[in-house]
A and B are shown apart, each in its own frame.
Chain A
């Protein structure tokens, strides 16, 4: 998880799931934030210190638009107690992230989730085995939305 994201949560700069009355856009017609997923080359350095989306070392190729694709976050974040003194809040995108009919000839191995509504601020980076795609589809399915495997988890200890 990107470290900057942790601090931004404390100032309510990100909103996952369905919009609520606390959304910043409007108190009467609230909207949720739009999150996107950008792919990065195996040679790129994207990690916990990444603070925002950048096109540097992002993949490029036929069918791929810089900035990546929109992440579906229809699932409302959940919080649950694991004991009398501890608990965890968690959320996972509600659908797979799909890049359809693309050619990405240079190997890539990371995806950056970021908030395009909030100045492209970084949320998290996820790595996987190096891939290339040729006139095909790249699909990224998120972990199950549970207290132990959800994509984003905040736990008290």
Chain B
């Protein structure tokens, strides 16, 4: 599979793939990195928000 990198498209067989996730109350995030030696040549991330902003209390906005 070809991967877009800082050096152009490269076959993933030439690269080291690292993946990770973050899961908390606010978000579920996945990320993937491709490394060529000790150089990061690709990083993508997908953040899924779980809830709206709550700057004031638990409701996004309230009308009394």
Contacts and interface: CB of A to CB of B under 8 A. Distances in A.
Interface of A: 1, 6, 47-48, 101, 103, 124-129, 131-143, 149-157
A85 to B, nearest CB: 11
Interface residues of B, number: 33
Contact of A135 (B4, B29, B46): B4
A141 B46 contact: yes
Contact of B63 (A134, A152, A154): A154
Contacts of B60: 1, 124, 152-155
Given A129-B29, A135-B41, A136-B44, A153 B49 contact: no
B28 to A, nearest CB: 9
A124 B54 CA distance: 10
17 contacts: A1-B60, A103-B6, A128-B47, A129-B22, A129-B29, A131-B31, A131-B45, A135-B42, A138-B46, A138-B47, A139-B47, A140-B46, A141-B49, A150-B52, A152-B52, A153-B61, A155-B59
Contact of A156 (B6, B33, B52, B62): B62
Given A1-B60, A6-B61, A157-B64, A131 B47 contact: yes
